[in-house]
Structure 1
Amino acid sequence: MNSSLSIDVFETLHDLLHLFRARMRKSMESVHPELTFNEVRVLVHTGRQPGITQKDMVEHSHADKAQMARTLALLQEKGWLLRTASATDKRVRCLHLSAQGQALYARLRSTREALAAELLQDCPAELQARLLELLQQARDSARRNGRAHDGEPADA
């Protein structure tokens, strides 16, 4: 094989994420049959970071602002999400899960954890911890390098 090691790392990450997402899509039916994958992403991220702003959610998801606004409105209509004004800036909307949303999030989190454990069952916990550490290091390095390429200071 002529590809470089760094490309192989990203190809393998892509394959693993594809497996996880495909299995998660299949599992979502048992959690709630009407959930879309994008709704799951928003619910999970909001559950992990209560109070996240709409702007930060757009940046995290790389979604279009209008598309994200529609998804958030739909989740609010379904009774799973609350959007409140920030205490410091009334123009900023913060996202929180409703009681129904928290119950749904608990089921989603459990499903995701079981699926992740299943996919990594042949990888010992110590190796998973080391892999996580290395991936975080690579991510942080890429972010620093990305800022430097965008004309920002590397340590910003």
Structure 2
Amino acid sequence: MRKSLDHVNQMADEPAEQVFDAIHSLMHLYRAQRHNDLRDGPRDLSHMEHKVLGFFARHPGSTQSDLAVHSGRDKGQLARLVASLKARGLLEARVDELDRRNVRLHLTTEAQAVHQALQRHERRMVNAAVAGLSEEERGQLLELLGRIRLNLESQP
């Protein structure tokens, strides 16, 4: 009897596993394409370098500490990333006029152009991914993914 109950439970889990396999597969494909775009782009950026540039594009004049708080990443890793981006001419540091102990980071003109080009490409990729889905279907998908997220967040 126990064996048949385990089999029933295993069968019940298969559709749930298929959902997460599909989500994983989509994210893997998306990230692989994005990685190729970053690598083959004008500045050969890593995923994390792109994320750092994106943060400073959205929050110009933030500090490295602001980035650490926002990302939750290791401060040493972030310091190396910021230093590399500065050395490559993509980030510039400006001393804070009100508190000279703080250094504010900004995208350079070149980094702004690179970031905008990557955003345009990403929008094209995302739009291609959801092509053929109606607005209603997109809304349903967002609602369902939101419910899955809430289920995961409510777990102890």
Query: TM range, normalised to the smaller chain?
Result: 0.5 to 0.7
Ranked by relative contact order (alpha carbons within 8 Å, sequence separation 6 or more), the top structure is 1
CA contact (8 A) 2:62 2:105 kept: yes
Q: 2:35 aligns with which of 5, 22, 25?
A: 25
Query: Percent of counterpart pairs with the same letter?
Result: 31
1:67 lines up with 2:85 in the alignment: no
Does residue 49 (structure 1) correspond to residue 49 (structure 2)? The answer is no
1:25, CA displacement in angstroms?
Answer: 1.0
Distance 1:57 1:138, change over 3 A: farther
Cα deviation, residue 21, structure 1: 0.9
Q: Which amino acid aligns with 2:88?
A: K
Q: Which amino acid aligns with 1:65?
A: K
User: Are 2:54 and 2:115, in contact at CA under 8 Å, matched by a contact in 1?
Assistant: yes
TM-score normalised according to structure 1 size: 0.68
Bigger drift between 45-54 and 14-23 goes to 45-54
Structure 2 length normalisation: TM-score?
Answer: 0.68
2:133 pairs with 1:123: yes
**Unaligned stretches of 5+ in structure 2?**
1-10
Change (3 A) 1:47 1:6: farther
Q: Aligned residue for 1:58?
A: 68
How far does residue 32 in structure 1 lie from its aligned partner after superposition?
2.0
Q: CA deviation at 1:4?
A: 8.2
- Is it true that 1:107 corresponds to 2:109 in the alignment? no
CA distance in 2, matches of 1:78, 1:53: 18
Q: Conserved in 2, the CA contact under 8 Å of 1:31 and 1:107?
A: no
Q: Deviations over 1:28-57 (max 9, x none)?
A: 244225322221121123223333442342
Match of 1:84, SS state, is strand
1:18, distance to aligned residue in structure 2 (A)? 1.8
* Secondary structure class of the residue paired with 2:13: coil
Between the aligned partners of 2:16 and 2:62, the Cα distance in structure 1 is 33
Q: Looking at CA atoms only, which structure, 1 or 2, has the larger radius of gyration? A: 2
Q: Distance in 2 between matches of 1:9 and 1:136?
A: 14
Of residues 89, 106, 112 in structure 2, which corresponds to 1:96? 106
Kept in 1, the 8 Å contact 2:39–2:46? The answer is no
Partner letter of residue 48 of structure 1? R
Match of residue 86 from structure 2: 76
Give the aligned CA root-mean-square deviation in angstroms: 3.4
